[in-house]
Amino acid sequence: MPTTTTRRGFMARTAAIGAGAIAAPAIFHEGFLGAASPNEKIITGHIGVGGMGSSHLNNFKESCGAICDVDRSHLERAAKNVGRYVPLHKDFRALLDQRDIDAVFIATPDHWHGVMAILACEAGKDVYVQKPASVTIEEGRKMVQAAQRCGRVMQVGSQGRSTPAAFKACQYIRNGMLGKVKEVNCWHYPNPEGGFKPDSEPPPQLDWDLWLGPCRYVPYNEDRVHFNFRWFLDFGGGQIRDRGAHVMSVAMWCMDSDSKGPVTVEATGTAPKKGIWDCPVDMLVKYEFKDPDWVLYWRQPGEPHGGAGFGARYLGEKDTLIVTGGDGGCGTEDKAKEYEPPSDGVHPYKSPGHEQDFMNCIRTRQKPIMTIEAGHAVGTLCILANISYMLGRKLQWDSANESVVGDAEANRLLSRPNRSPWHI
């Protein structure tokens, strides 16, 4: 099991981070320098158990060592699901201070991912963080740095890469069965319009201030909280930062482009005409890549294929391939499913399942299939699209330096101030 600081020491470190001091000593568990015993039980902590987090918890009830949520009703439901005593926390820092927790599952709204993941790394925990990795590019970069600095395994929850269909599609494309791929067209249905309820006092079971966390303060509104956070640019960023982080994760894997960012990003969209939700209803994004040259499109709604609400069509010089979905529900065409590469062909890593891959890597200290580096790269695509849409212009992107060329206004949007004490 990992060795951590005392609660007093951890809270002191958190206060230091709130003051802007990130440099803290790395804390490792015994599996860091060598593989942990295959029989050693990994104890998990679960932060955010209202949506996807409840699914993670359901799969790890036996290993669960603590649960955290700012909504008491979520906590009570999760505790009942586990069916035995485990510590329940409203403040995630108390969970991170538990000495027996080896790894955490972070399934909060997106605006909490960065702060929680960084603090978890510094508390000596391995991290499974839901997609998208972050809400700003600065935040994503600091998540990468924290995982590297502290020697932590960090898996991003874009689980499409762990599906059999995505593996077969990746194998098929990387072995040249389509020829050179020049264009990838992603499609997805539109963002909804809505948010008509008035602001009100938060319900007694919800700590609204802690739910907001690092975000700027806004009044409580039933149409802003829980899953409805998805439809605000400040919090969730719309479909492109939700399902886009799935579909484009598979696309970047199939195109072997995790380390190759775009050179230009251009987005247009239609703002909602009613309600408080502010994500564009429809959206068209074009990403240009160089060396090799290809174009990635996010079309919202776009042209559906295979009866699926979202997915991507790969256009090569010799053939095309459809990959439906992009999350745990991936599908692809029979020609890819039936293909077997030659022994000297390209053989991508085959995940045993996204959560299992994470558990295996905790023991072996190997890289998971959806590293934080890959998650940050995909998250960058999603974030840049929204910035281009908000500014109404094409962005020239310098991926090596993570900056927009010659555009000070756009560069200011690559980061944002966090509310105290949640500075990174």
Burial class for 121, CB neighbours closer than 10 Å (0-12, 13-18, 19+): buried
User: Closest Cα partner for 383 from 355, 422, 410?
Assistant: 410
Q: What DSSP element (H or E) covers 212?
A: helix 208-212
* 79-137 pLDDT per residue, tens: 999 999 999 999 999 999 999 999 999 999 999 999 999 999 999 999 999 999 999 99
Confirm if 213 and 111 have CB atoms less than 8 A apart: yes
pLDDT band at 423 (very low <50, low <70, confident <90, very high): confident
Confirm if 280 and 166 have CB atoms less than 8 A apart: no
Six-digit token pair at 217? 């303060």
pLDDT band at 32 (very low <50, low <70, confident <90, very high): very low
Which residues does 176 contact at the CB level (< 8 Å), separation at least 6? none
pLDDT band at 39 (very low <50, low <70, confident <90, very high): low
Report the side by side order of strands in the sheet with 44-47: 88-89, 64-68, 44-47, 103-106, 126-129, 154-156
Exposure string for 232-260, b = 16+ CB within 10 A, e = fewer:
bbbbbbbbbbbbbbbbbbbbbbbbebbeb
Q: Which residue has the tokens 């035995």?
A: 84
- Decide: helix, strand or coil at residue 142: helix
For the chain, domains (ranges, CATH) are 7-159 (3.40.50.720), 161-344+372-405 (3.30.360.10)
Comparing 38-42, 168-172, 387-391, the range with the smallest average pLDDT is 38-42
Stated pTM of the model: 0.90
* 152-204 pLDDT per residue, tens: 999 999 999 999 999 999 999 999 999 999 999 999 999 999 999 999 999 99
pLDDT at 31: 31
Confirm if 305 and 314 have CB atoms less than 8 A apart: no
Q: How far apart are CA 414 and CA 244, in angstroms?
A: 19
Distances (CA, A) of 358 to 97, 142, 273, 351: 21, 21, 42, 9
Average the pLDDT over 407-416 and give the result: 97
